[in-house]
Amino acid sequence: MTKLFLFLLVCCMFSGVTFAQVSTFKTTVAEGQVSLQIPTIFQQIDEPENNNFVNNSLYTPNWGIINETDQQQFLSSFTQQVISDNDIPGAFDQLYKELQSSYKKLKIIQDGIHLTDGRNIGYIVFSGNRNKEKKAGYLFYLSVQNRLLVFAFLADKKISKEWKSTLDAMAMSVTVAE
């Protein structure tokens, strides 16, 4: 009976970091250096550089996918900004400034650090107005080859608990081939 209870407890703990009923596929980004699981409802964006998530050209997306139904975008920008894994907690300040300059009425809903595959992966959940439209977003970022890699999920409506769980799982699925 004790073994069954422990098994159920462990299953419950891991259920929060899995893709609950969302089918995914593995993709690579950042010049083939990073792989992660992506929900299959997304399709490749042909010109991701036209879909900025902040106003700074340092973060111009070089890869992106979109969910056409809900107009949700998931973009990545492999910047030239030099940053080590130990600098990831401090990267929040810079990204926060960029968000402030890009979104009016910016509200940080949550931020923190995931430790995944031995790496620091920072994240920021936010909402704000951009180009007279209310946006919700989830950024996660890490150091790859001492360069900052930023992933940005943008939606036209509030990020639901289910999407937050899926995005957390995406961040936790990151593996780096260094």
Find the CATH number of the domain harbouring 74.
3.40.1000.10
Which pLDDT belongs to residue 157? 86
Q: What is the pLDDT of residues 58-67, one digit of tens each?
A: 999 999 999 9
Q: What is the pLDDT of residues 56-100, one digit of tens each?
A: 999 999 999 999 887 899 999 999 999 999 999 999 999 999 999
Beta strands in the chain (DSSP E): 24-29, 34-39, 43-44, 63-67, 72-82, 104-116, 119-130, 133-144, 147-155, 175-176
Question: 69 in a domain, yes or no?
Answer: yes
Which pLDDT belongs to residue 21? 60
Hey, how many other C-beta atoms are within 10 angstroms of the C-beta on 139? 26
Question: 135 in a domain, yes or no?
Answer: yes
Tell me: pLDDT of 18 over 50: no
Q: How many structural domains is the chain composed of?
A: 1
Question: 50 in a domain, yes or no?
Answer: yes
User: What integer best gives the mean pLDDT of the chain?
Assistant: 87
How many angstroms separate the CA atoms of 49 and 60, rounded?
Answer: 6
Tell me: pLDDT of 55 over 70: yes
Residue 79 and residue 94 in contact, taking contact as beta carbons nearer than 8 Å: no
